[in-house]
Amino acid sequence: MRDSNLPETELLKTVLQPLLEDFQYWFGRSRDFLESEQISFMSEVEQCDLLTRVKEAQEEVNTAKMLFSAIDGKVGLDMATLMPWHQLVTECWSVATRFRQGRDV
């Protein structure tokens, strides 16, 4: 629900800025994981593909964050931009969870 006393720019900063920081954090963790572990249930090509997609998403998020800061949060991002990032983070979480579960056996 939207606070009618909060200007639109401030609302964008309140919601979008932390979201972009979360994406940066999770893509960074995912990249570190994919670069440091050999994932037995993925082929080398699959792991490399996932890592490549994470690196590309990191660059996109960094660019979006720089632009958002440069224009002082006056413009938001389309859901069509955010959803693939969200799906990729979810995919990385799934891989990491499966990897950890395999180690606990």
- Give the tokens for residue 86: 């969200």
Mean pLDDT of 3-31: 84
Q: What pLDDT does 91 receive?
A: 98
Evaluate if residue 105 carries a pLDDT over 60. Answer: no
Distance CA 63, CA 60 (A): 5
Residue 50 placed within a domain: yes
The separation between CA 97 and the C-alpha centre of its own chain, rounded to angstroms, equals 17
Q: What is the pLDDT of residues 31-58, one digit of tens each?
A: 999 999 999 999 999 999 999 999 999 9
pTM of the model: 0.86
Q: What pLDDT does 75 receive?
A: 76
Residue 1 placed within a domain: no
In the chain, how many domains are there?
1
Domain hosting 55: range is 8-98
92: left (phi over 0), alpha (psi -120 to 50) or beta: alpha
Q: What pLDDT does 2 receive?
A: 45
Distance CA 23, CA 72 (A): 19
Distance CA 44, CA 49 (A): 8
